[in-house]
Amino acid sequence: MRLKIGDFARLGQVTVQTLRHYDDLGLLGPAEVDSFTSYRYYTFEQLPRLHRILALKDFGLSLEQITQLLAQDLPPSELRGMLRLKQSELREQVRDQIDRLERIEARLRQIEQENETSPYEVVVRRVEPLLIASVRGFLPTYWDATPLWMELAEKMSRAGIAAAGPFFSIYHATEPQIDTEACVPVTPAACEQSTLQVYELPVVEQMACTIHHGPFTGLINGFTALFKWVDANGYQLAGPDREIYLRHPSKTDFANDTQAVTELQVPVSRVTT
């Protein structure tokens, strides 16, 4: 399966600009560039290299140093040892570095699970129309959605609107920026106020869905499994993906709560030949 640069960026949870920069440096180039449109295409086989680059970058190495290390073709065991050492160092630092630490852990799990059988089960089902209130904006990274959720919560409180279902995110686009919408189901009474955007999401006839158990740092594993299943079963991506927060992580252990439950969804359509 050829992945557009935006879809590949989504799986790696980086920006399109980052991938273009890596290409310019000769660190990670597209598998194919269309000679007519100049569109860049990547493959699933390139994800392990991207995960290694990002893990080493969070390790504190420069891109030049990463290029040299990758040229040595480090085995996963050696890379794992380097990352474990960095974890020990980071745990001694101040609280605001914890998010960075968990990103390292997520990349490490990606590397360790490269050849394992996917634990995710995928189903395709119809998703009915849904009335929602939302706030939409652009994120610098996939880890920086908090301001959107704070804005949504403030507007809902001001309007006196209660949630009618689990909160969820819609990722509309990945280039040139990460276009994200923070959403919550509401009742028809919410349509009577004017301080918050309220509208109906249309029906999705075919939505590929899977469930992720555990912290948000592992969502990339679920999305990778979901996208691979779509490709392997004769479907193609047909719209923006969603994250449905069925059981939100504990506020006291936001990054590590293993009891958190998130449904991952992406609209699909059959590939026609």
* Domain segments of the chain as ranges: 3-112, 129-201, 203-270
Domain 129-201 has CATH 3.30.420: no
Distance CA 73, CA 244 (A): 38
Q: Which residues pair with 182 in a beta bridge?
A: 135, 169
Contacts of the segment 135-140: beta carbons below 8 A, 24+ positions apart: 135/181, 135/182, 135/197, 136/172, 136/179, 136/180, 136/181, 136/182, 136/197, 137/180, 138/177, 138/178, 138/179, 138/180, 139/177, 139/178, 139/180, 140/15, 140/178
**CATH topology classification for 203-270:** Multidrug-efflux Transporter 1 Regulator Bmrr; Chain A (3.20.80)
Global confidence as pTM: 0.73
Distance CA 210, CA 138 (A): 26
Distance CA 19, CA 30 (A): 9
Q: Do domains 3-112 and 203-270 have the same CATH topology?
A: no
Output the six-digit token pair for 60: 């504190």
Identify the architecture of domain 3-112 in CATH: Orthogonal Bundle (1.10)
For residue 6, how many C-alpha atoms fall within 13 Å in the half-sphere facing its CB? 14
- In order along its 273 residues, the chain shows pLDDT tens digits of 889 999 999 999 999 999 999 999 999 999 999 989 889 999 999 999 999 899 888 878 889 888 888 887 777 777 777 777 777 776 666 556 666 776 677 677 667 766 677 789 999 999 999 999 999 999 988 888 889 999 999 999 998 899 999 999 999 988 888 999 999 999 998 888 778 899 999 999 999 999 999 888 788 889 999 999 999 999 999 999 999 999 988 776 666 678 899 999 999 999 987
Closest CA to 59 of 94, 88, 38: 88
